[in-house]
Structure 1
Amino acid sequence: MVPVNEPLIMDRDKQLILQCLETGWISSEGPFIKEFEEKFANYIGKKYGVAVSSGTAALEIAVKALGLPEGSEIIVPTFTIISCVQAIVKAGLNPVLVDCDYRTFNMVPEEIERKITKNTKAIMVVHIYGLPVDMTPILDIARKYNLLIIEDAAEVIGQTYKGKLCGSFGDISVFSFYPNKHITTGEGGMILTDDENLYEKCKGYRNLCFSFDPDRRFIHEEIGWNYRMTNLQAALGITQLERIQEHINKKRWMGKKYNELLSDLQDVCYLPIPKTDYAENIYWVYTIVLKDNYPKNAKQIMKELMDKGIGTRPFFYPMHLQPVFQRMGLFKGDTYPNSEKLYEKGFYIPSGLALTEEQISEVSNALHEVLR
């Protein structure tokens, strides 16, 4: 079996985790958490970092920390993971969806401006699959309408837009360290901001809104969550961050190998774009999109690949089609053709950092057999 993802764990990772076990610092109390927050914030280029238990937790805290009035609208792509829209809904706010570009998978800036109303307060930018969102027009729109930017850079840790690291553009930015990300802490996430007030709010929401005054510790002014990261996770984050450039180089090597081996596939609409005028693909995952007239859909091809021992994952199911949101009465009558077709025709193949050249060849051979 070639798994769709396998993280790369080295001796240095094990050494720091063992240090946590030997010292007893295994909970959310421990020196590595602050160190990881500071090092990651410094790497991205933000003043403050708040380490949390997952990327989903980071989104929920970030949205709540903005303190937007109930009913405010946040523009967000429909082609994304449910965590993004879920965070908006759980905060009592209204998600407003936009479609994605069919080649880059990212939200279309021109659609954003058409969706702005007097209730719009923020844009949630989500970088998808390896290429960043085209940020310049979105930042211009945000300035024009005085909107906040929530930047979800979970899938592009180490990626740059016009030479500047993704995650550095948001008023508040979030990251995930799930095992399929460019650095992992097992589970885990991070919130970054330059705003000290937002930073303090995020720290509170992460930790049940305990008072920072020891005499008032169990007196709560607000509702928060237990979304803390452990010292064990932070230790792994520190060692993984030390190797971030190696991981990026490995991802791009992997993308280049796949490009060479799969360029002759006749039934594939297109392979990932190697670069745009603002970024080189970081290949968080390696995507396959079938031609419109190909008689099988992504699910059928994925099943045939699984029968050959090749792990795959489907593309995101669009948010406007999600049953849970339809039952809430959200997105009635919405249609986003690019996102809908991508779910039908798109999937991704093994792309983890532990992938070997032999496995890449095995995946290529299986794809050629299945699509022949």
Structure 2
Amino acid sequence: MKKDEMNSFLKKIPRGVIYHKVTDSVRYFLASMLAPLHRKEKVIEFENIFASYCERKYCVAFPFARTAIYFVLKALDLPKGAEVILPPITIKGIVDVVVDLGLTPVYVDLDVETINFRLDQLREKLNPNVKVAIITPLFGLVPDVSAMVALLKANGVFVIEDFSQCLNGRYDNKRVGTFGDVGIYSASSIKTLDTLGGGLAITDDQVVHDRLRNAQAGLMPARRTALIKKAWVNLIRNVATSEPVFSFLTFPVLQLIRQRNPEAALKQTGHRDKGRLATLPLLWFCRYTSVQAQIGIEQIKGVIAQDAARVANVEFLKASCEIDDFPKTTQESRNVYWQLILPVSNALEAQAYFAKRGIDSATSSLELVCALKDYPNRADLQTAQRIYRNGIFIPCFPHLSQSDMRRIVMAVNGYFQERGHAKEG
């Protein structure tokens, strides 16, 4: 047996990674315990760097993306009952802030090729009561943002781009996050730019910026315990997905969990509480810290190189797999593939199939928010349901080896030869 074949037999491939070195995660954990949290000049320095990086005039940092969205919506002074168009797959916290402000969520189904709003259905949802739309390029896939924004602006709709999974994505060479009125980036764990959380609002509108800056000034002091918890979770995830820990400890534990309860290990970072919040947590209204800002200043320098390696991996996988099932987006899209999503007939079966071949995979931990039973305006959206239930992430992170990728190709081809393709409807 050749050396790389022997290593392939022993080595297991994780579903994803933390985009920091383990040594960085150790440093950040220590900083979360010991470093000052409220060095305002450090936060401003990172805001300016991030605004310039994203080709916007202004950036205002909040503790979470949902907090940033909350204050953007509040700054618009919308009437109660005004409608906000949302993606059917997103974090539940965004729906929580919409409902808390007395606004009405409205959902539009997804296009199978872009995993974003279907333009025909978006057009049908527009009416004089729709005041805001949140466009979310899921999984690093770039839709025709220009057409969406043009349609929305023609109908007087304020546009928020949640590009948390699509930093550095472009459409027709224009950055995702710069088409709408405001862009929001979530710098949370496992993102390509991960600062132990944070919601970064970018805009060219000085009035919006000034209102967001006033809101930021009114936030409560950060809680060190919360930052320590985030840094600890990141460190554990980083160690758990690193070699040889993943192959000899993490993967066997995941297999035991799957044997006892297959659903328990299906979601990328676990299942979330789907219940409606009576009030928004105070933690959502604490400041973004200077520790997080310093992490951002350090880590942002390496994002483009990591993107290039990940995109090259995806291009190899898509070209080598004998299937035509991956989403295709558009010719003008420059996708960054935060995750490589693959529609399958049964996600649990696919996960088990890949796991037998030493490849860990998962479905998204985002929620199918259009189906949440405790929230208004539930909608039965067929494409969103299929993607949520049976869209599985294929490993594509930057430091995969050629041997790793050949194994992934063999597993994907083998799965479709044995199990067939996902059915429409």
More helix by share: 2
The reply on whether 1:6 has 2:17 as its aligned counterpart is: yes
Instruction: Report the Cα offset of residue 365 of structure 1.
Output: 4.0
Pairing partner for 1:338 from 383, 387, 390: 383
Contact 1:79 1:105 in 2 (8 A): no
Instruction: Report the Cα offset of residue 2 of structure 1.
Output: 2.4
**Backbone CA RMSD of aligned residues:** 3.0
The reply on whether 1:288 has 2:335 as its aligned counterpart is: no
Go from structure 1 to structure 2 and tell me whether the alpha carbon gap of 1:247 and 1:342 turns closer, same or farther (over 3 Å shift). Answer: same
Mapped to 1, the partners of 2:407 and 2:141 lie a distance apart of 26
> After superposition, what is the alpha-carbon deviation per residue over 1:291-341, rounded to whole angstroms, capped at 9, x for unaligned?
xxxxx511222234345543322145532222xxx233432xx32221122
Match of 1:271 in 2: 326
Count of residue correspondences? 345
Match of 1:31 in 2: 41
Match of 1:352 in 2: 397
The residue type equivalent to 2:370 in the other structure is H
The reply on whether 1:255 has 2:311 as its aligned counterpart is: no
Match of 1:89 in 2: 99
Structure 2 unaligned runs (5+)? 1-11, 221-281, 419-425
Go from structure 1 to structure 2 and tell me whether the alpha carbon gap of 1:330 and 1:14 turns closer, same or farther (over 3 Å shift). Answer: closer
Match of 1:229 in 2: 288
Identity %: 24
TM-score by length of 2: 0.72
SS in 2 for 1:104: coil
Contact 1:5 1:352 in 2 (8 A): yes
The reply on whether 1:305 has 2:364 as its aligned counterpart is: no
Match of 1:216 in 2: none
Pairing partner for 2:374 from 313, 327, 330: 327
Pairing partner for 2:158 from 138, 141, 148: 148
Instruction: Report the Cα offset of residue 125 of structure 1.
Output: 0.9
Structure 1 unaligned runs (5+)? 211-222, 291-295
The residue type equivalent to 1:276 in the other structure is T
The reply on whether 1:240 has 2:299 as its aligned counterpart is: yes
Contact 1:38 1:49 in 2 (8 A): yes
SS in 1 for 2:148: helix
Contact 1:8 1:353 in 2 (8 A): no
Instruction: Report the Cα offset of residue 251 of structure 1.
Output: 1.7
The residue type equivalent to 1:140 in the other structure is A
Mapped to 1, the partners of 2:367 and 2:69 lie a distance apart of 19
Instruction: Report the Cα offset of residue 227 of structure 1.
Output: 3.5
Instruction: Report the Cα offset of residue 124 of structure 1.
Output: 1.0
**Higher mean C-alpha deviation, range 343-352 or range 99-108:** 343-352
Mapped to 2, the partners of 1:285 and 1:228 lie a distance apart of 29
- Report matched runs for 1:131-170 at 5 Å: 131-170=141-180
Contact 1:182 1:244 in 2 (8 A): yes
SS in 1 for 2:138: coil
Contact 2:19 2:192 in 1 (8 A): no
Go from structure 1 to structure 2 and tell me whether the alpha carbon gap of 1:317 and 1:30 turns closer, same or farther (over 3 Å shift). Answer: closer
Match of 1:105 in 2: 115
SS in 2 for 1:287: strand
Mapped to 2, the partners of 1:244 and 1:5 lie a distance apart of 16
Mapped to 1, the partners of 2:179 and 2:16 lie a distance apart of 28
Instruction: Report the Cα offset of residue 13 of structure 1.
Output: 5.8
Instruction: Report the Cα offset of residue 41 of structure 1.
Output: 0.5
Mapped to 2, the partners of 1:57 and 1:196 lie a distance apart of 19
**Higher mean C-alpha deviation, range 176-185 or range 38-47:** 176-185
Contact 2:132 2:157 in 1 (8 A): yes
The residue type equivalent to 1:339 in the other structure is A
**Higher mean C-alpha deviation, range 112-121 or range 28-37:** 28-37
> After superposition, what is the alpha-carbon deviation per residue over 1:214-243, rounded to whole angstroms, capped at 9, x for unaligned?
xxxxxxxxx995332222211121122112
> After superposition, what is the alpha-carbon deviation per residue over 1:38-93, rounded to whole angstroms, capped at 9, x for unaligned?
01101112111112223333333332333222211011221333333333222221
- Report matched runs for 1:53-64 at 5 Å: 53-64=63-74
SS in 2 for 1:40: helix
Mapped to 2, the partners of 1:362 and 1:56 lie a distance apart of 38
Contact 2:146 2:179 in 1 (8 A): no
Instruction: Report the Cα offset of residue 279 of structure 1.
Output: 1.1
Instruction: Report the Cα offset of residue 165 of structure 1.
Output: 0.7
Instruction: Report the Cα offset of residue 202 of structure 1.
Output: 2.1
SS in 1 for 2:89: coil
Instruction: Report the Cα offset of residue 368 of structure 1.
Output: 4.5
